[in-house]
Structure formats: C-alpha cells, structure tokens
Amino acid sequence: MTPQDPASLLATAKDSTQPLSGPSSWTPPTPEELSGLIPGLAVEALIGRGGMGAVFRARQVRLDRLVALKVLPPAVGRDPEAAERVAREARALAKLNHPGIISVYDHGQVGELLWLTMELIDGANLRQVMETGSLSPETALRLIPCLCKALQYAHDQGVVHRDLKPENILIDAQGAPWIADFGLAKMASEDEAGLTQTGQLLGSYRYMAPEQIAGAKTVDHRADIYALGVVLYELLTGSLPQGRFEPPSRRVAVDVRLDEVVLRSLERDPQRRYQRAEDLSRAVTAAGSSPAPAPAAAPPAAAPAAAPLPTWWQRLQDTRRSHRDRMLAGVCGGLGASTPLPTWLWRAILLMGLLCWGVGGVAYLVLWISIPDGADPPPRTTAWTWAVAAMFLILILFSILYVLS
C-alpha cells in the first residue's frame, strides 16, 4: 500500500462517520450552553464525543486563541475520585512541554461539569485514520519513533500515561502524532492509595499491560511501552495481538526484523520488554529504514591448485604412451583385432618371458659348466644356446613393449 499525503489522509478521516472516541449514551451540552457556563470562552462547535466526555472547539476571548475544550459527563463530576483524576491530569500535563504532547492551559468545574482547556490540534485521532484503510506500514513506522520521543520525555518527567491507545493519539495536518488524554496518568512520586480502592481498572483493557490487568500496585513506564507495542501491531496488521497471535511479517509484507521488535514490546514480564521508550524507537527505526541483512553467503570455493609444470620425466612418459598407443594399434590391426589389447595383458606376457628367459639362462649355464675343458659341446648344448639366444631376443622385444606400455 502506498503512503498517502497527510492532508488527504486527514480529510478522509474527518469525513468518517466514526465518533472521536467511541459511542456514548451521554448527550453533551450545546456550544451555546457551554459559552454561558464557562467564563472567558466562546464555544464554537462540537469536535467529537466519546464515553469519557466531549471535545469542543472554543476561543479564549481575551487571548483570541483557539483551544480544545474537554467536558466530562456529569456522572464523573459527581465522583470525587474522578474529579481528583482530572486534577491530576491537569497538573501532570502542565509540567510537560513537548511538541508531541498536547498541553493543558486550564481546568475547572462548574456544577457537575468538569472541564479542561487544551491545545487545539487540527486533525483526527489515530483510530479515525486507521479506519480509512489508507495508513501504510511505512507511515506507521514513521509515527512510532515520534510517539516514543514524546513518551520518553513524559517518563523522564515522572509521568506515566497508562491509557495509550489510538483514540488518544491525534494526527495533525502535517502528519505528526500528538499524545492526548493523560486523564489516567499517575505521577511516579505520588502514592496511589485511595485512588483505586474501588478495584476499578484504570485504562483500556485491550491495550493494558498484564501487570495493569493483574491490579499490581506499582505500574511504571513499561506499561506504556506495552501499550505502544499493541498500537504498533495494530497499525501493521489491522488487528489486535490477542491470544496466540502471529508475528506481523506472517500477516503483512513487512521486514521480519519487526517481529522481534513487536514481540519484545509485548512481553508479559516487564523486565523482558524494552526498558525505555527510546530503545523501542531505535529498534523500530533500524528495522524500518535499513535493508534487511542478506543471508550469509557461502564461502567461495577454493580455486584448484595450479598444476605443476611438467618435468622432463613426465614429458618422456607422455611421449612413451603416445608411441605405445600407435604401436599397439598397429599390432592389433595387423592381427585383425578390433581394439588394442589391454596393457595388463602385455605386462603379463612380458613377465612370462622374463620367467622363461631366467629358467633357460640358468639351464644354459649349468650345461656349459658341466662340459670338460677341451671337449666339444654336445648337440643338446648347442640347441640350448640357440634357445637361450632366442629367448633373450624375445625378452628384449617384450621389454620394449613393457616400457612403451
């Protein structure tokens, strides 16, 4: 899927019929009613509504500045614990000054209505952008490092969001993400006693870390890293990592290295997750911007050793074999043989000739030694002489054949 221009992407998101933060049975007051209730504000229009309140576009009259006005349902204002959470949100955000975190300007209560004025972002929340179906994996990987920087800044200030989800992430006209709604944030230096004694889980269940669901007394910044891992998985695959979920690369065409990044972010044990948001940012950037490492290439095959130059003996052997082949072919052709006789047969004949010459030579010497001095050799001795001579000639012939073979 190709990346889309941020302006057109937001235009599509704004045209979506989905509410800002989900359905709600609460009917918020009209802009005219709010303008008369909150002094110094001219409320212009309803931007969105959800289960935890409604957001209006308003103008601060004295400063002539557009702001976002968040109004909570009357039921929240009647709950002292909820009112305390709103006050904590205002105090926490008042200490944060970061281009990726929506600033709070003021807060108060009128009757049963709790309200906050915040920085106005001209855009849509990430949920609306996701539901357009136009968010590419490349855009998703560009958003995560920006969110990590904002979270890291908040964590360094001792603020934990604890309710990070697409509805609480706004995308402006330039495509930059902003983290909103720190209503469930806790100050790390504050004691949580008395704020959750009812046993109510603070946060959105599908994005909550296991230690949050288990009701752990100490929930630190690593719960935000888990929630951001859920958001990353949902951005890449379009679904939530529930049950035995598949790694992202098995569902969409993304770098397989992102599997390790997502799975480490979603570790049940906080000690095994990324310990800092900036660590997650570096991992996502490395996996999304650099090409995947090529598989290790097999070492090149060793070049065959160069053959040594032929010596005079090797040249003699080659010449010998060439003459042998020509002679054997001529002899076999004269005998009418279709193929030359094998070399082993010639060598067998030669060995037999050597054996016969040796036996004949020994017999010849015995005969000559047995003849008296001055006596004529008997005829048989003369016959042996010619026999030994003939065998000697045969031996020479077969010796030549052996050398040539």
Q: Are residues 85 and 173 in the same domain?
A: no
pLDDT of 23: 47
Distance CA 394, CA 372 (A): 30
Cβ neighbourhood burial of 185 (10 Å; 0-12, 13-18, 19+): buried
Q: What is the pLDDT of residues 103-134, one digit of tens each?
A: 889 888 888 888 989 999 988 999 999 998 87
Q: Looking at the domain assignment, is residue 251 inside a domain?
A: yes
pTM: 0.64
Q: Looking at the domain assignment, is residue 304 inside a domain?
A: no
Q: Are residues 163 and 208 in the same domain?
A: yes
Q: How confident is the model at residue 195 (pLDDT cuts 50, 70, 90)?
A: very low
Q: Do residues 9 and 132 lie in contact, with contact meaning Cβ atoms separated by under 8 Å? A: yes
Q: How confident is the model at residue 48 (pLDDT cuts 50, 70, 90)?
A: confident
Which of 78, 97, 120 lies at the terminal end of a domain, its last residue? 120
Q: Looking at the domain assignment, is residue 306 inside a domain?
A: no
Q: Which residues does 11 contact at the CB level (< 8 Å), separation at least 6?
A: none
Q: Are residues 154 and 173 in the same domain?
A: yes
Helix axes 222-237, 277-289, angle to 10 degrees: 30
Domain count, the chain: 3
Which of 238, 272, 289 lies at the terminal end of a domain, its last residue? 289
Q: Is the pLDDT of residue 201 over 80?
A: no
Distance CA 56, CA 41 (A): 11
Q: Are residues 68 and 156 in the same domain?
A: no
Cβ neighbourhood burial of 341 (10 Å; 0-12, 13-18, 19+): middle
Compute the mean pLDDT over every residue in the chain, rounded to the nearest whole number. 77
Q: Which residue of the set 64, 79, 163, 373 is catalytic?
A: 163
Q: Looking at the domain assignment, is residue 8 inside a domain?
A: no
- Domain of 243: which CATH number? 1.10.510.10
- Domain of 77: which CATH number? 3.30.200.20
Active site residue 163: yes
Q: Looking at the domain assignment, is residue 33 inside a domain?
A: yes
Q: Are residues 355 and 272 in the same domain?
A: no
Q: Are residues 392 and 281 in the same domain?
A: no
Which range among 34-43, 270-279, 339-348 shows the weakest confidence by mean pLDDT? 339-348
Q: Do residues 210 and 218 lie in contact, with contact meaning Cβ atoms separated by under 8 Å? A: no
Q: What is the mean pLDDT of residues 25-52?
A: 85
Percentage of the chain modeled with pLDDT above 90: 34
pLDDT of 341: 53
Q: Looking at the domain assignment, is residue 176 inside a domain?
A: yes
Q: Looking at the domain assignment, is residue 192 inside a domain?
A: no
Q: Are residues 223 and 334 in the same domain?
A: no
Q: Are residues 280 and 148 in the same domain?
A: yes
Q: Are residues 71 and 174 in the same domain?
A: no
148 or 76, which is more confident?
148
Which of 74, 99, 120 lies at the terminal end of a domain, its last residue? 120
Q: Looking at the domain assignment, is residue 275 inside a domain?
A: yes
Q: Which residues does 325 contact at the CB level (< 8 Å), separation at least 6?
A: 340
Q: Are residues 57 and 27 in the same domain?
A: yes
Q: What is the mean pLDDT of residues 242-271?
A: 93
Q: Which residues does 270 contact at the CB level (< 8 Å), separation at least 6?
A: 209, 211, 220, 222, 223, 226
Q: Do residues 208 and 223 lie in contact, with contact meaning Cβ atoms separated by under 8 Å? A: yes
The residue range of the domain holding 56 is 19-120
What's at 329, amino acid-wise?
A
Q: Do residues 48 and 19 lie in contact, with contact meaning Cβ atoms separated by under 8 Å? A: yes
What's at 190, amino acid-wise?
E
Q: Are residues 280 and 369 in the same domain?
A: no
Q: Are residues 28 and 166 in the same domain?
A: no
Q: Do residues 348 and 404 lie in contact, with contact meaning Cβ atoms separated by under 8 Å? A: no
Distance CA 105, CA 69 (A): 10
